[in-house]
Amino acid sequence: MFTAGITTIIGGAIGWLAKAIIAGIRAKPTMIDAATDGYQELMNANRELMDQLRESVEDRQAWLQERAELKAEVTQLNSTIQNLNNKIAGFEALLLANGGR
């Protein structure tokens, strides 16, 4: 009778342990799914950040291109102004040479 009680307790403990092991095995796919979902969320966030970065770089490149074009236009305008100033100075010299006529 005493050994039967110990056998029952040991059998129950083994059964409980087996259930815990099986539950652990069954929990692993859930844990894998959770890890996979977390990884997917992380990758999606990473893609969004990369898209934002790419867009920002493209905007910056467009701004730099526009700035370079404006700088070239300003340089051309400054050159034109200098040429006009030289012509005005030449006309003034001619007027002075002709006595203001």
pLDDT in tens, 52-75: 999 999 999 999 999 999 999 999
Q: Which residue has the higher pLDDT, 45 or 39?
A: 45
What confidence score (pLDDT) does residue 39 get? 82
**pLDDT tops 90 at residue 4:** no
pLDDT in tens, 8-39: 767 777 776 677 666 666 556 666 666 788 78
Buried b / exposed e along 52-85 (16+ C-beta atoms within 10 A): eeeeeeeeeeeeeeeeeeeeeeeeeeeeeeeeee
| pTM, entire model | 0.50
